[in-house]
Chains A and B, each alone.
Chain A
Amino acid sequence: MNVRLTKLLLGLAAPLLALGLAFLITSLVLALAGDPVGAVWSQLLQWPQPRNQINILNNAMVLFLSGLAVSIGFRMNLFNIGVDGQYRVAVFVAAVVAGEAWLPGYANTALAIVCAMLAGALWAGIAGVLKATRGVSEVIATIMLNFIATSLVAYLLAKAAVREEGSNVIGTKVIPESSWIPGIQVWSDVATELYGFIVITVLAGVGYWFVLNKTRFGFELRATGQSATAAVASGVSAKRMTIATMMLSGAVAGLVGLPILFGDSHSYGSTFQSGLGFAGIAIALLGRNHPVGIALGALLFAFLDEQSNPLQILVGVSPDIVAITQGVIVLTVVVSYELVRRYGARLEQRRVAAELAAGVTVAADGDRRDPDPDPSAPSAPDGSRGPGDGDVDLSKETTR
């Protein structure tokens, strides 16, 4: 079979296998609990209504940003569990800045976005500094910072808040309408609009790919993640890199709440959606730290969330079942990537063997089997140079 095609199929096989496994396990859980397996799946897997489609995209946007933030850390072996705290601090800052409206119109929006990213970066930077200077594990530090962020924001909110009349919901000042990011009308007959923030979200995804794969900074970040000792010997300052990576991760985390803030809620209040940071960890794992993978993972999670909403009413099953599915997916993804990688390696081995039997490799380097040493050409290119460069490393796609 064509090598490229094989690779493509293998690349698809891993996520499909993972989903299949997750499907089976979830069904098993449902069956054991005595719930109607078929009815649940037919609700979950039906094609969403236009309104639901928009909701899925909107939620996916938020999850994507969260996954992106986490995966920046992953690329350097840093486990930023603090996206949750970072986006809370950031969205609060953005809400206050935008609510005060020191600048007119979109200048106000831009300022608020920059402030959010800065706030996220600084908040994450605390963990970075602690790690770089004191060796405090970023896992511990970011968990603690999550708690602090929650309380800090609640405390500040109580100070900055304006209370809506006749309600005990409190929130920041509402952002002036000229600074909202307008939604995009996708279906003419559906009121729900796609967040305009999608433009910035896509830019963030492209920026992530570009910075990590094309720039010196990205190279150093990945190098440090692969081998901190080798990176230091190559001239990277491990401390500075730790802090920079945490801050970058925090800056992206700062964007997480903004689609909602500028597209929907227009103020930050006690009812603002929480828990968006933790989903990002699962999605970064699912997406293998690749922007396209993260986007697909975010869509999948958002899809499951949206489809599960009416489960209670229609089938009488708690929507929490999809949280189980989501968790299981993360596990099965890890397992199935490894399975497929091994299978791929075996396949590759067999292909090389077959080519060898057909004489391809031997023809490419005829002297390999030559039993007679050739003293006149000691440094001639060695026989180990095989048929081609491009088709050598099968594991690359799957292990990244």
Chain B
Amino acid sequence: MTTHPQEAPAESGPLAVRLRGIGKRFPGVIANDDINIDVRRGTIHALVGENGAGKSTLMKILYGVQPPDSGTIEVDGRTMRLSSPADAIQAGIGMVFQHFMLADNLTVLENVVLGAEKMHGIGGAARAKIREISDAYGLGIDPDRRVEDLGVGARQRVEILKVLYRGARTIILDEPTAVLVPQEVEELFDNLRELKREGLAVIFISHKLDEVLSVADDITVIRRGTTVATVEPASVTSRQLAELMVGSELPTPQTEASTVTDHVLLEVRELRLPDPAGGRELLSDVSFRIHRGEVLGIAGVEGNGQSELVEAIMGMRPGMTGRILLDGEPIGRLSTRARREAGIGYIPEDRHRHGLLLDAPLWENRVLGHQTRRPSARGGLIDARAARADTRRIVENYDVRTPGIEVHARALSGGNQQKLIVGREMSGDPVLLIASHPTRGVDVGAQGAIWDHIKTARRAGLAVLLISADLDELIGLSDRIEVILRGRLVGEFDPGAVTPEQLGSAMTGAGQDSAGKETDA
């Protein structure tokens, strides 16, 4: 089943990238250790591995962001020293990071030419080039849209376009599908297959093993910093892959006996949110209830009002009208802090923007959002000792892989950052958990563990508003699913009876009208 890269690959096309013996250490951590990978031209090569296995680190090395401590990199047969992304771009390597790096307030054109002004200028020629690339690979991107108006799927395509614009022949995508719903994933994969046909090489990191199996030509498994195997998708199942990665079985979310009570915990009535720019309402007439012990799932293509809904409930959106009742008490006028103190836990969709202080130690990140409550604070003072102790508890219980609680959040891998946030928001026994993509970027093993934590809390009466792009997660965890489309709740489904396909078509508005895509492109 496995072929080690040292042995000649079965069908050896020309190699786009050849990594040998790559090693990289951080204080207290060996991120990469003797990594060997061959990426053939005209293929999609997937990298899989647990959170913190060293995938992002390896790709940053290949992209020249960090130097390796040891090992050699060959690009198109030539040994390279890549000491900056500029070198990597020169060598025809491009990267789309795990966390997007677009400037929201600029247009697509401006974002694309930023730093590459020399190539085609910043005006008409650049615009024409962008259109040309967009058409050639079916990306469907309008160079003059502002990035903040784009959905995640479209932003993703802008990132890819940015890389192609710089002449990349090898493209690295770090967890590109984590934020996409199935339809968008399919579109992305079509784009990738197009790239592959044009002779590009794509390296792609994902935790979603089924996707990996469907799109990749080769799969390399990284475990604790080292390559343990390179396999062909035809020869493995996702279960076998997971075992290679973590040595554990693939979890399936399974709703257990319902714990829904008839005690309404959250009631949202006629929530509306006007568009500050004067467009169509971002939320119109949204009403629902969540009972104690119930999980309400919200399904929708990203950009249809999910973020606005969550932020309105958290008190972060001025201009909202309507009523929000928590356990019978109106909270619609309370500050974000008061809402948190009333027992709302909040897992934000964008962990870097809303969830973490990247340059603060983990224990201070434990305090964030809980700075008025025990154990983080005592009176007006921060209780560093208790916060540290509780951080250790979270690190332990949620399996956050870190050399210690004094390291900065930035030093954690994406998935481990997510685990820390989930652990933090589940602490202090919240009565309501607002979870936006709670397992985004988390590996299969940790995903199962987070689901278990949520289920356990639900049994004890936690109400959960769950937003997720992962339909399996949504169906497996929810007691009820509402579909959101263009700011409205357009249909309710029983997760026991609905299939992902049915949900998918409801999410795009198929059957009602076909305008669902407009929000995304």
Contact = CB atoms under 8 A, between A and B. Distances in A.
Given A217-B380, A233-B314, A386-B28, A373 B228 contact: yes
A222 to B, nearest CB: 8
Contacts of B353: 227, 229-230
Given A233-B346, A391-B27, A393-B408, A220 B371 contact: yes
Contacts of B225: 368, 383
A233 B354 contact: yes
Contacts of B243: 373, 375
Q: How large is the interface on B (under 10, 10 to 19, 20 to 34, 35 or more residues)?
A: 35 or more
Nearest to A368: B224
B361 interface: yes
Interface stretch (A55-63, A284-292, A346-354): A346-354
A368 B30 contact: yes
B30 A383 contact: yes
Interface string B242-263: 0110111000000000000000
A166 interface: no
A194 B513 CA distance: 82
Given A214-B381, A233-B316, A385 B403 contact: yes
Nearest to A214: B381
Most chain B beta carbons < 10 A, residue from A231, A377, A383: A383
A189 interface: no
Contacts of B372: 216, 235
B337 A236 contact: yes
A79 B93 CA distance: 40
Contacts of A222: 360
A232 B336 contact: yes
A141 B27 CA distance: 44
Contacts of A386: 27-29, 403-404
Contacts of A392: 27-28, 403-404, 406-407
Contacts of B445: 378-379
Interface string A231-248: 111111100000000000
A393 B406 contact: yes
B393 to A, nearest CB: 14
A369 B32 CA distance: 11
Given A356-B30, A393-B407, A393-B408, A371 B228 contact: yes
A318 interface: no
B406 A219 contact: no
B27 A384 contact: no
A234 B339 CA distance: 10
B386 interface: no
A215 B228 CA distance: 48
Interface stretch (B35-43, B178-186, B362-370, B496-504): B362-370
Contact of B368 (A230, A348, A385): A230
A34 interface: no
A263 interface: no
B357 interface: yes
Interface in B202-238: 223-226, 228
Interface string A324-352: 00000000000000000000000011001
B28 A387 contact: yes
A241 to B, nearest CB: 11
Contact of B25 (A236, A349, A383, A385): A349
Contacts of A237: 335-337
Given A226-B360, A368-B30, A384 B401 contact: yes
Contacts of B26: 349, 352
Given A232-B336, A374-B247, A394-B27, A223 B223 contact: no
A281 to B, nearest CB: 23
B348 interface: yes
B357 A216 contact: no
Contacts of A214: 381-382
A378 B243 CA distance: 9
A382 interface: yes
A21 to B, nearest CB: 26
Contacts of B29: 384, 386
A180 B383 CA distance: 40
Contacts of A226: 357-360
B340 interface: yes
A346 B403 CA distance: 18
A42 B322 CA distance: 75
B361 A393 contact: yes
Contacts of A387: 28
Contact of B406 (A223, A234, A369, A389): A389
B69 interface: yes
Interface string A352-382: 1100100001000000110101111111001
A374 B224 CA distance: 12
A375 B247 CA distance: 4
Contacts of B338: 235
A121 B423 CA distance: 40
A140 B346 CA distance: 36
Contacts of B28: 352, 384-388, 391-392
Contacts of A390: 404, 406
Contacts of A217: 380
Most chain B beta carbons < 10 A, residue from A214, A216, A222: A216
Contacts of A371: 228
B354 A378 contact: no
B334 to A, nearest CB: 10
Interface string A168-197: 000000000000000000000000000000
B405 interface: yes
A383 B368 CA distance: 28
A368 B225 CA distance: 9
B94 interface: no
A399 interface: yes
A300 B50 CA distance: 52
A375 B408 contact: no
Contact of B371 (A227, A234, A379, A385): A234
Interface in B380-433: 380-382, 399, 401-408
Contacts of B380: 215-217
B357 A227 contact: yes
A231 B336 CA distance: 10
Interface string A139-183: 000000000000000000000000000000000000000000000
B401 A382 contact: yes
Contacts of B370: 234
Closest 3 CB pairs of A and B: A386-B28, A235-B337, A389-B404
15 contacts: A214-B382, A219-B382, A227-B353, A229-B354, A230-B355, A235-B335, A235-B341, A235-B371, A371-B228, A384-B52, A384-B403, A385-B28, A385-B403, A386-B403, A392-B28
Interface of B: 25-30, 33, 50, 52, 69, 223-226, 228, 243-244, 246-248, 314, 316, 335-341, 346, 348, 353-361, 364, 367-372, 377, 380-382, 399, 401-408, 445, 449
